[in-house]
Homo-oligomer: A and B are copies of this chain.
Amino acid sequence: VSEASPIDALIDAYNDCIDQEEYERWPELFTEKCLYQVISREDFLAGRRSGFVYCDSKGMLLDRVRTLRSVNLYEPHRYRHMTGRSTLAQGDGCTSARTSYMVARISQEGDTDLFSTGEYRDEIVVEAGRALFRKRIVVCDSRRISNLLALPL
Query: Which A residues are within 8 Å of any B CB, using their own CB?
Result: 1-2, 4-5, 7-8, 12, 15-16, 19, 78, 80-85, 87-90, 95, 100, 102, 104, 106, 109-119, 141-145
Query: Which B residues lie within 8 Å of A84 (CB)?
Result: 12, 15, 81-83
Task: Please report the C-alpha to C-alpha distance between residue A80 and residue B41 in the assembled complex, in whole angstroms.
Answer: 12
Supply 10 A–B pairs (Cβ within 8 Å), ascending by A: A1-B89, A8-B85, A81-B100, A82-B82, A82-B102, A106-B117, A106-B141, A110-B142, A112-B117, A112-B142
Query: Which B residues lie within 8 Å of A144 (CB)?
Result: 109-111
Enumerate the 3 nearest inter-chain pairs by beta-carbon distance, A residue then B residue, closest first: A110-B144, A80-B117, A110-B142
Cross-chain contact B141 with A112 (CB below 8 angstroms): yes
Query: Which B residues lie within 8 Å of A83 (CB)?
Result: 84
Q: How near does chain B come to A6, taking the closest CB pair, in angstroms? A: 10
Query: Which B residues lie within 8 Å of A117 (CB)?
Result: 80, 104, 106, 112
Task: Please report the C-alpha to C-alpha distance between residue A80 and residue B113 in the assembled complex, in whole angstroms.
Answer: 15
Q: Residue A142 contacts which of B12, B111, B114 (CB distance < 8 angstroms)?
A: B111
Cross-chain contact A1 with B95 (CB below 8 angstroms): yes
With A104-B117, A112-B142 known as contacts, the answer to whether A5 contacts B2 (CB < 8 A) is yes
Nearest neighbor of A78 in chain B, beta-carbon distance? B141
Query: Which B residues lie within 8 Å of A7 (CB)?
Result: 1
